[in-house]
Chains A and B, each alone.
Chain A
Amino acid sequence: MADPAVLLVHGLGGTQYDLGSMHKRLKNAGFVTHSLALPGHGTTPQDLVGVRAEQWVEAVSARYAEVASQHEELHLMGMCMGALLAAEVAKRTGHGARGRLVLLAPPIFIDGWSTPWYRFLRPLLYRVPGLPARMRIEEEDPFGIKNEQLRAIVKAKFERGENFHYRWVPLACVREVDRLRGWVMRGLERMACETLIVHAREDELTSLRSADFLVEGINRGAPGRARVVVLENSDHMVAIDNDREVVAGSVLGFLGAQAVAGLGGVADDPRMTADEQSALAARACEALAAVGPSGLWPLGIPDFAWFMPGAHRGSGVARGAKGLSRLLRWGAELRFTAFGTVVSNAGVVIVPTTLAHGDLRSQGTLALWLRAGRLLEARGFPDEPACEDAHFGGSPEPDGPSPAERAFEQAARDVKSLAVPPDQDALLELYALYKQASVGDVQGDRPGLMDPVGRAKFDAWARRRGTTRDEASALYVAQVTRLKERAPA
């Protein structure tokens, strides 16, 4: 499979919840994500008793081999104990040619500021017959989370008994983590892959010494192979805590999924030949000429971003599906013409062009970031931004949804709690307006006779064909407002 993949490994007693929104962020950046439930996980903590570190390593190795057989490019990423497992598997498999390694809060040393002082006693306790299997190490406040609101949410999830993380793990399991730590600490210089370590300065479980140890060990084999990002506003659970955006940005940048990430090694390998880059640039130019910037979205990753320069109503970044919707509201008529010679360099393509809109003809340059056959982002550099400002007028929209978008989102929430349930016709009308406002003209095939409900919905949506998104959004809000005003009989 041409799409790059990432194998994500959760931590001890955890699930993929440990990794926060990384799956979603990676998918939006064009990666296929894979995961696994480690042996002893996903059921009850008692099932961890008897599980050996070898079983965890074998499980990750097997999953790695399976995913590696499906993808040419495969990155490994782990959180906490998952980071130790990812590092160990990367070492054992010689991972490097296929992709990179991301280690989130790897606990090489259990020496964080909030780890209990009696942690030094555990080697003695391991030797007491029967105790490691019976003694529980509990997951307690602060749960590795600095953000108090998130902590309250996690606490509530524990109180509800949700199975997103074990409430405790047996001491026997901690012994296995200690064994795993020992394996990882040995032979780091043999690591063959580019490695990113993300670690919080105030990690309450494992201090920055862990990150330093790994970086020094890996770089002993090849200087510069490992680098570290230090977070200043998180505890141990870095992927869900205050710095989660920094984590996501650093990881995406390290994996080459963001054009600018400030890590120095970004886009140095676009994973495309020069011909492939030229071909993709040509298709982008065709799309820009035919339908404008919106034509770049099908060629890009899900989070493709269009950067409009200047200080007018369209300035700013339009990212992902919402960004496209915003762009179409004001810039559906934008076109680009008069493309000059395309120049490419390590995943970045520069092409001189002219922006056409009404009577505006603004000469400038477009820069496109490419990777693995997809566009990451596009930025315009007009020769005279003031001309575009004067032509488009207005001022940049602030970040976040516009008032109309907020009203639409609120209406979509309100419709779920109407005092008087709408009748069938009103429901179909609401459905049609919602789809028209959020997706646009009807898409897909009309359902068959055996699916009368789907058919009725499709027909209702189709009747709205040609209605602009703004109109549909306003009609939807008005319809919901009318329904809200109806009093119960």
Chain B
Amino acid sequence: MRTTAVSGGATALWVMADWAAAWLLSRAVGRVEAIETTVFWLPTGVALGVAVAVAGWRLPWVLGGAAAAAAIATLVDGRPVATALGFAAIEAAAVGVAAWVGHAGRDAADPRIVWAAQAGAAVAVALVGATAALPLWSAIAPATSLAAEWRAWAVSGFLGALLAVPPIVAFAGFRAKRSGGMGTRPFVAGAAAFAAFAGCAAAIFQGDVSDRFGGAVGPTLAYLPLAPLIASAVLWGARGGPLAIAAGALLVIGWTAAGRGPFAEVEGFAGEAMLEVQGYVAVAALLAGWMLAQQAAVAAALARATDWQVRYRQVLEGTGTVAVTIDAVGGTCRWGERAASLPGGAPADVAAWIARAEPADQPLMRAEWAALAAGRQPAALWRWADAQARLAAVRGPDGEVELVTGLVQRVADGG
């Protein structure tokens, strides 16, 4: 019990430190002073990432750490204790509800479900936090537009969670390996793609894009850096990919928040650039996240297929068995591996196969084949001098026999 408390306490302190670092980063990079708001709210996303990644028993400690950090940050901002306690409670509630959503899909076999759960958790933390904060805002700032406040909280919270949760969850399972991790080549390729993004983004976002590329073309280049950014995410895979997206997003947000780049060029209304860059980053994160989930799903499917293949081969080779499927209409045989090891090789069709049996047995085998193919008999056991086969009819959706499958063993091999 004492060990658990110590370990849990360490988790809470770790979350507080992470929360504080993310808070500083959000303020340093995403703060738009003109409208006194932040493009993305990373601290809650970080706390949510940790909450989704850790084992269930640590969750109260994570929530406690996040709540304490939120309270301290509120006090540092010069607000009263009651307000700090209010924000702490909102933080714990939002992260708690969203963690439940994230946990629901965390261990799913399909990586797309895992990603969907993370995206769902990001939505949940944004909605719960923004909605729960409304009474508090109405109490401490009655003149504020609650709708605008709700939207700012929800969008920045969603964006922060979208950027923070995937890399934290991905790196939670990281172990240094002797071999089998990402090799140098894909890493260098991903780094080259990220460098291309950084250069491209710097050219477009780190200054007046209209001055550089002309008023007609410049603003249209905003989405150009997305291609190398997503390429780097895909090349870096499940762990490096989310990190690349987060780093790329921070660069673009930072430049835009500082009043540079295509989004900041024309402000139709106060905060328009912020909304545009939020949409930009959300699109990039969602697109890359979905592509990474698809990539992981393909890899998982390949691993499952390989596992099946290995087990199938082990069983067949271990028991000296050869698999065959026979077209029920034409009698053509389709043989599996090691068919050449059968006595006399692999016959092309069932007629040639039956012809290898003792002459006295052939009429019965032909009759059984006819019964199998017609669906009058579900299975059969055929014997030759040196082999035996178990056959079974496979019916199509209309109930007609389409295939006959079989397992053939050399008698001396497998009895």
List residues of A whose CB falls within 8 A of some B CB. Answer: 111-118, 135-142, 144, 148-149, 151-152, 169, 171, 204-205, 236, 403, 406-407, 410, 414
Contact = CB atoms under 8 A, between A and B. Distances in A.
Interface in B373-415: 386, 410, 412-415
Q: Which of B177, B181, B188, B413 has the most CB of A within 10 A?
A: B177
Contact of B179 (A149, A151, A171, A236): A236
Contacts of A115: 178-179, 181, 183-184
Contact of B175 (A138, A141, A152): A138
A45 to B, nearest CB: 12
A116 B310 contact: no
Given A117-B182, A118-B176, 4 more contacts: A139-B178, A140-B175, A204-B180, A406-B410
Nearest to A400: B341
A204 B179 contact: yes
A137 B178 contact: yes
Please name the 6 residue pairs, one residue from A and one from B, whose CB atoms are nearest each other, closest first. A116-B181, A117-B187, A406-B412, A140-B180, A114-B179, A117-B184
B176 A138 contact: yes
Contacts of A152: 307, 310-311, 314
B220 interface: no
Q: Which of A111, A149, A169 has the most CB of B within 10 A?
A: A149
Interface of B: 175-188, 306-307, 309-311, 313-314, 386, 410, 412-415
Contacts of B182: 116-117
Nearest to A153: B314
Q: Which of B177, B179, B313 has the most CB of A within 10 A?
A: B179
A147 to B, nearest CB: 10
Nearest to B303: A141
Nearest to B188: A117
B62 to A, nearest CB: 23
A141 B310 contact: no
Contact of A136 (B175, B310, B386, B413): B175
Q: Which of B177, B178, B309, B310 has the most CB of A within 10 A?
A: B178
Contacts of B386: 403
Nearest to A152: B310
Nearest to B317: A149
A414 B415 contact: yes
B304 to A, nearest CB: 13
A410 B319 CA distance: 11
Given A117-B187, A149-B314, A205 B179 contact: yes
Contacts of A204: 179-180
A116 B179 contact: yes
A407 B177 contact: no
Contacts of A236: 179
Q: Which of B180, B181, B309, B386 has the most CB of A within 10 A?
A: B180
B309 A142 contact: no
A116 B177 contact: yes
A144 B179 CA distance: 8
Contacts of A205: 178-179
Nearest to A404: B412
A407 B385 CA distance: 13
A335 B24 CA distance: 94
A121 to B, nearest CB: 10
B310 A149 contact: yes
B310 A148 contact: yes
A137 B180 contact: no
A149 B317 CA distance: 11
Nearest to B343: A403
B179 A142 contact: yes
